[in-house]
Amino acid sequence: MTQLHGVAIRNVSGLLVVALALGAAPSLKHATAPVQITVKLSEWKVELSQASVAAGTVTFAITNAGSIPHGFEVEGHGIEKEIEVIQPGASDTLTLTLEPATYEVYCPVGEDSHKKLGMETHLKVVGARSSGSSGYGESAMSETHEARATVQAIRVTGGGPVIQILPGPFPFPDSAAPILKQFGDEREGLESQVKDGPYSNNVVPSAGTFSFTAWDKGAVRDSVDGLAEFTTQDGARWKLVLDRVQTKDVPHHPRFGGVILGLYYHGVTQVHTPLVPTINSAVALWAFGHLYKNDQLVTDNAMVHVMLLSRTRRDGDFALACWNCSKNKIEELQLQILPGPGEPKLAAPGGFLFLNWEKSSSRKAS
Ligand SMILES: [Cu+2]
């Protein structure tokens, strides 16, 4: 035993000597321990410790530093590998052998809604012989940035039955409860909406028009232009002129900013409040607007949430028909108006205005 042990040690040290002598040779470098890349997941970012790496075995050491569960996926050059979703504060690893190419690295949670909110980056894998300088990573990033800067616009026109939604209990409290638990500081405010919030079956007929155009031009330059005119249950005539897009955080909608075209969220997705069924939206935004009641200015800072989404309400009584409505036709146009920051509640039931146009349409705009 002792003798064998001695031989084994000698052999190992012999190998070490050879390896050190040829340390500069690329082939041996390649064969050494896998390179480790540290990955930090949070709302709504994927951060890598390096933007490029030499081809070979790479171990991703992934930590969820956010406040909701996230996943991690590497895709490109014939590879598509992901880890199981990890809870806030937890870690996991993923080891892959990567050939030279640019790989997409992202969070796949919520049918890519986390990705669309920004949880996406790229990893450039370079040939083993090249230095793998960070210059590669930088150029890959600037390309992505340019691609994102492309302006997209959508024109939405409200149509079909118009309804006003009055405060009432959320119809799917049991489905929302486990998701609400993960909302931390914001949970209390949201829980009061379970009992008496804006997503209720307490619906009355209304009448009016609403159309707008929204431009997605990148983080802080998004814009919106639109006009809504409608009559509420009490006979009041309201007019809303959309002014500018809200690009900062909104209560219960962390990190929501700008015009978001195409997103699967709410409900089970853990993106924004779960007190709205899971939906697919063509466009969603928060904006500020000028609000008038019976031709008198109410505020220049009304906070407005607009969303064209998959239908959540059924024909007839317009009750919320599904907890997961993401496969329904995208034709429900929601307009939610709240007082500006620090302003008194609006003179309407619950202090808010919430109107839906149930058969709306959209088209690309220039
Ligand atoms: Cu995520």
Q: How far is the CA of 119 from the centre of ligand 1 (A)?
A: 6
Quick one: three-class SS letters along 164-218? EECCECCCCHHHHHHHHHHHHHHHHHHHHHHHHECCCCCEEEEEEEEEEEEEECC
Instruction: Please give the torsion angle defined by the CA atoms of residues 93, 98, 104 and 110, in that order, rounded to the nearest 10 degrees.
Output: -40
- The pLDDT score that the predictor gives to residue 131 is 41
| Residue 312 reports pLDDT greater than 80 | yes
What is the CA(86)–ligand 1 centre distance, in A? 9
pLDDT, tens only, 241-270:
999 888 765 555 544 567 888 777 777 776
Q: How far does the centroid of ligand 1 lie from the alpha carbon of residue 245, in Å? A: 25
**Residue 114 alpha carbon to ligand 1 centre in Å:** 5
Read off φ and ψ for residue 270, nearest 5 degrees: 70, 10
68 Cα–ligand 1 center, Å: 8
The pLDDT, as a whole number, for residue 136 is 37
The edge-to-edge listing of strands for the beta sheet with 56-64 is 45-48, 35-42, 56-64, 91-98
Distance CA 24, CA 21 (A): 8
Distance in Å, CA 250 to ligand 1 centroid? 19
Q: Please state the domain extents for the chain.
A: 29-148, 152-364
For the structural domain made of 29-148, what CATH number should be given? Answer: 2.60.40.420
Q: Measured in angstroms, how far is the CA atom of residue 144 from the centroid of ligand 1?
A: 19
How many angstroms separate the CA atoms of 289 and 263, rounded? 23
| End-to-end Cα separation, the chain, in angstroms | 80
320-340 average pLDDT score: 92
Distances in whole angstroms, Cα of residue 162 to Cα of each of 203, 212, 305, 332, 355:
10, 16, 17, 10, 7
CA–centroid distance, residue 36 to ligand 1 (Å): 21
The reported pLDDT for the residue numbered 69 is 84
* CA 72 to ligand 1 centroid distance, Å: 8
Count CA within 13 A, CB hemisphere, residue 354. Answer: 18
| 259, 216 Cβ separation under 8 angstroms | yes
Comparing 2-6, 64-68, 206-210, the range with the smallest average pLDDT is 2-6
Q: What is the pTM of this model?
A: 0.67
Say what the pLDDT of residue 260 is: 81
- The CA distance from 204 to 308, in Å, is 20
